[in-house]
Amino acid sequence: MLTDMPAAGTRSTYQPSPRESDSPRGARVFLQERKWRRPEQRLATEDITISRWTCAPTAVKHEDATTPPDRYFFSIALKTTRLKLSRGNQIVFDGIMPAGTLYVGAPAKQISAQFYAPCDFLHFHVSASYFLSPLPGTDPVAHESLNDLVLLRDPFAEQLAKALTEQGHLADQEFAHCIGQTLAMHVARRELPRTKVNALPKWRLRRVEEYVRTRFDRSISLSDLAKVAGLSRMHFAAQFRAATGYRPREYLLHQRIEHAKSLLSNSETSLAEVALAVGFCTQAHFSTVFKRITGDTPARWRCVSRNTLASSRPADSDPASPRKSVSPALPAAPS
């Protein structure tokens, strides 16, 4: 299980491409945030403003923000991270937030965030008029009914964010505005769950995470994980998903792929050997799952990873010096 990172500070991981650098700032359809939920320039006349928050904290990063009185705030996680959202003594969310998670905040609401791991979020600042004067096919929405709404791994919101970010900062303005409107309609029309499933308690979650971390290369069944958590299979599966956004099997596969990345980037191990080392029975199954999760084949990912590492190495460094092994993994629960 990962521990909280010890050093202080944070840095932005976003770097504009040469094409973006040579283009007027007004051409960007979403703005980079230098402070959480505060775009680098305010576009008060627009009914939908889109911005991006990207950071790699080297310690727990604390941020506070208040939604403007005339805006709703939508946030879509572009990558899996770990964070805590709270308001005073009330905890809104605390745990692993998977990529594709949608968070909604109502106007004039304050919220605090603690970031425990690198993160990348797309933010939509949407005029409250979209909900006071509802979109076609929707009813007026009360502020409180949408405040602090957290939808783990919302597939539709994830696809909207992907469609926009794949176009880059110079995507068509009308296209970006359409994405924002579609997201607002999606939120306004969404039927909230009638029953609430309690999330797996942190002490149980830590036991499961530790069990998977030390046995990811072996066969692990749902019954095994439920036994570690001390619950029935049905209750464990529901509570684990409520806590992490992942089905137990999905979580195990993600852990295997993260360990595979470490082997691919820090060794010359063949793909077949990597597949067996992280618990897959065949290279074909490993490659299929790897591409589904990362978007690349193992071979291409290894090539891109090493090229990136080589380009980031200082010019006076010794290319023959051994690399430090880094074992990335999904963020783990803070103790």
- State mean pLDDT over 251-271: 90
Report which of 101, 5, 121, 114 is spatially closest to residue 54, judged by C-alpha positions.
121
What does pLDDT average to over the chain?
Answer: 79
User: Residue 267: its pLDDT value, please?
Assistant: 84
Judge if 285 and 232 occupy the same domain: no
Q: Are residues 52 and 77 in the same domain?
A: yes
235 and 124 inside one domain: no
Residue 8, in any domain of the structure = no
Does residue 82 carry a pLDDT above 70? yes
Whether the predicted pLDDT of 169 surpasses 80: no
Q: Between 53 and 57, whose confidence is greater?
A: 53
Give the position of tokens 């200082």.
Answer: 314
DSSP character string of 37-82? TEESS--TT-SEEEEEEEE--SSPEEEEEE--TTEEEEEEESS-EE
Tokens of 1: 């299980």
Tell whether 270 and 135 lie within a shared domain: no
Percentage of the chain modeled with pLDDT above 90 = 38
- Predicted confidence at residue 294, as pLDDT, reads 82
Tell me: do 203 and 183 sit in the same domain: no
- Residue 161 class from Cβ within 10 Å (0-12 exposed, 13-18 middle, 19+ buried)? buried
Name, of 26-40, 88-102, 225-239, 315-329, the range with top average pLDDT: 225-239
Sign of the C-alpha dihedral computed for residues 199, 202, 204 and 209 taken in this order = positive
Q: Residue 121: which pLDDT band, with cuts at 50, 70 and 90?
A: very high
Both 63 and 158 in one domain: the answer is yes
Structural domain span for residue 258: 254-310
| Residue 84 within any structural domain of the chain | yes
Does residue 327 sit within a domain?
no
Number of domains in the chain: 3
CA distance 215 to 230: 18
SS3 content of the chain, % helix, strand, coil (to 5): 40, 20, 40
Rounded mean pLDDT, 276-280 = 94
b/e per residue 242-259 (b: at least 16 CB within 10 A) = ebbbbebeebbbbbbbbb
Q: Which two tokens stand for residue 269?
A: 């191990």
Same domain for 124 and 266: no
Q: Are strands 71-77 and 48-55 parallel, antiparallel or unpaired?
A: unpaired
Residue 316 pLDDT grade (very low, low, confident, very high; cuts 50, 70, 90): low
Q: Are residues 169 and 203 in the same domain?
A: no
Counting residues of the chain whose pLDDT is more than 70, the rounded percentage is 75
Token pair of 165 as six digits? 């970010």
| 33's tokens | 């945030």
Between 31 and 36, where is the model more confident?
36
Per-residue DSSP letter, 319 = T
**Residue 325 falls within a domain, yes or no?**
no
Residue 306 token pair: 């090493």
**Residue 307 structure tokens:** 């090229």
